[in-house]
Amino acid sequence: MTVVLTGRTLTLERVLAVARAGAEVELEPEALERMRRARAVADRALAAGETVYGLSTGVGVRKRALVDAGDQGRFNARLILNHLVGQGEAAPDEAVRATLLVLANGFARGSGLAGPALAERVVSALNDGRRLRVRMLGSLGAADLSALADLAHDLLGDDVRLEPGEGLALLSSNAFSTGLSALAIADLDRLLETALVAGALDLEAFAANLSVVDPAVARERPYPGLATAAADLRELLAGSALLEPGAARNLQDPLTFRCLPQVHGAARDALSFVRSQLEIELNAAQNNPLLDVASGRFLAVGNFDSLPLTTALDLSRIALAPVLTSANERLVKLLQAPLSGLPEGLSERTGSAEDSLSEFGPAGQALTAEARLLAQPVSFELASSAHAEGLEDRATMAPLAARRLAEMVSLGERIVTIELLVACQAIDLRGQRLGEGTRRAHELVRRCVPFKSEQDPIPPTLEPLRELVQSGALSSRSVGAGHVASVH
């Protein structure tokens, strides 16, 4: 597969193809021509002695200082070196690849100072599989200056041969934030699909009242996410013994069972919103100054302000928190005999002296507490407004928003892993007929962890099951589609 960069057609799926699957990348000829025209405008402005931010002047508080024509090379190099202030661990290779892709796609719009040769250099780094070091911490998300300085420094090495203004072109972008966000959003999508399957298994395990997924639920409250979640649950549960009259144990179950479609529906709607914001940002001009080639004007703008994406990332974490909290509440209830109607801790027999799976309840609670803390919004955070004589007085914290979503999803995978373990143990003890989708999911789980009999120790590790969760093989798209996904 080859991903062609046009500056206008990059999608989440194409980011994943390049960042994770190693797809080749090329720039469309029209994009190269747009960049040539932009460079011609920049060169004419320089020749005419025009004052253009970052092209003929310094940046930030030094915007009044003019850069001599003979000093352009040194200025570009120093601009990158002076922003090498990143901190922390190196970003994963997939995050760096996503960053390179978004940066090159921004160049392809032809509304900045980057020329074709620089764009080709970025694309070559992707196609050659170069491993560039970009530190995770240090960017406020008002252009990812420190992260992109790391990337530019590793990309160019000591031989910084750039056209005037291209040093700024490499830094004036939120490519790092946007790339991180794309990966985190894709992982959130997979987690929500898998968490819904775990929720369906919980309904089976609890012998819950399945009226909660009746078509009337969404028909009378027409949120798109609710309709999708309820429909997916009906598909997973089709054929379950619980659909027979009188099969449910309770007239009304606890809210974390009864509101499963509503909680997941809200998360689905949040996911849909953040995806729509991401698709815009992937194809946006994030640079300052912005060049209007038709008129030859350089516009001082704030398109590097990534608040539309950051607030959507905040919303996605807020919506994920109830999904994970509810999952943990359900698994704890399944472990308690008075609520589940099964042996305490899901032991093989009533009256057993062993804990069986009981201690997975506190483990899930610990993970859930950590995950909920990550839901705190960050888009209103700013450490100081004193930088650059008060000119740079706001920021979005976009990298933090994306990083927290990734961390929250990672914790969520572990919570769902425990939920699956507990639900399948309860299902085996209850012994009722499962739905078509829940049966397939149960079979996949049992390939990783067997039923725990009274003589068995608890599983020494849940990593095989967590890896199954992470692979997407347990998503509603996989187990609800009429086949068992392969296990890797």
Q: Could you tell me if 358 and 420 lie in one domain?
A: yes
Q: Which residues are registered as beta bridge partners of 135?
A: 90
**Which of the listed residues 173, 205, 221 is the one where a domain comes to its end?**
173
User: pLDDT for 306-318, tens place per residue?
Assistant: 999 999 999 999 9
* pLDDT for residue 390 is more than 70: no
Same domain for 234 and 86, yes or no, is no
Query: What was the pLDDT predicted at 333?
Result: 98
d(CA 200, CA 213): 10
The token pair at 376 is 């705190």
Bond before 289 cis per omega within 30 degrees: yes
The least confident of 97-111, 133-147, 371-385 is 371-385
Exposure on the CB side of residue 270, measured as CA atoms within 13 A: 25
Asked if 308 and 388 sit in the same domain, the reply is yes
Q: What is the mean pLDDT of the chain?
A: 93
- Residue 252 included in any domain: yes
How far CA 253 is from CA of 208, 212, 384, 469, in Å, comes to 6, 10, 49, 27
**Alpha carbons 172 and 112: distance in angstroms, whole number:** 9
Q: How far is residue 33's CA from residue 411's CA, in Å, rounded to a whole number?
A: 46
pLDDT tens digits along 368-379 = 999 999 999 999
How far is the C-alpha of 336 from the C-alpha of 330, rounded, in Å? 10
User: For residue 61, what pLDDT is reported?
Assistant: 72
Tell me the HSE value of 455 on the side-chain side, using a 13 A CA sphere: 0
Q: Quote the CA–CA distance of 485 and 488 in Å, as a whole number.
A: 9
Alpha-carbon dihedral sign for residues 177, 183, 185, 187:
negative
The percent of residues above 90 in pLDDT, for the chain, comes to: 83
Same structural domain for residues 169 and 242? no
- Residue carrying structure tokens 């830094």: 171
Structural domain includes residue 488: no
Q: Residue 125 pLDDT more than 60?
A: yes
Vertex 196: Cα angle to 195 and 198 (nearest 5)? 65
Lowest mean pLDDT, pick from 10-24, 239-253, 385-399? 385-399
What does the pLDDT average to over 94-99? Answer: 99
**Tell me, what DSSP letter sits at residue 57?**
B
pTM to 2 decimals? 0.95
The last residue of one of the domains, among 109, 143, 173, is 173
- List the CATH number of the domain containing 121: 1.10.275.10
pLDDT at res. 158: 78
Same domain, 84 and 169: yes
Single-letter amino acid code for the residue at 174: N
Asked if residue 120 is part of any domain, the answer here is: yes
Q: Looking at the structure, tell me whether residues 90 and 231 fall in a common domain.
A: no
Indicate the residue among 173, 205, 220 that finishes a domain.
Answer: 173
148 and 208 part of one domain: no
Number of domains in the chain: 2
Domain span at residue 273 reads 182-479
Angle at 479 between CA 258 and CA 482, to 5 degrees: 115
Task: Please tell me whether residues 143 and 219 are part of one structural domain.
Answer: no
Q: How far is CA 411 from CA 257, 406, 432, 476, in A?
A: 21, 9, 31, 20
Residue 487: predicted pLDDT: 30
139: which 2 tokens?
């960017």
CB under 8 A, 24+ apart: contacts of 216-225: 217/261, 218/261, 218/265, 223/265, 223/266, 223/269, 224/265, 224/268, 224/269, 224/272, 225/264, 225/265, 225/266, 225/267, 225/268, 225/269, 225/270, 225/271, 225/272
Residues forming beta bridges with residue 292, ordered by sequence position: 297
Tell whether the model's pLDDT for residue 286 goes beyond 90: yes
Do 38 and 111 lie in a common domain?
yes
Q: In terms of DSSP bridges, do strands 2-5 and 24-27 run parallel, antiparallel, or are they unpaired?
A: parallel
Gap between the Cα atoms of 281 and 175, Å rounded: 9
Please provide the DSSP assignment of 375-398 as one string. TS--TT--S-S-GGGGTS-----H
The C-alpha atoms of residue 256 and residue 463 are separated, in whole angstroms, by 26
Q: Structure tokens of 93?
A: 């290779």
Q: What is the pLDDT of residue 470?
A: 97
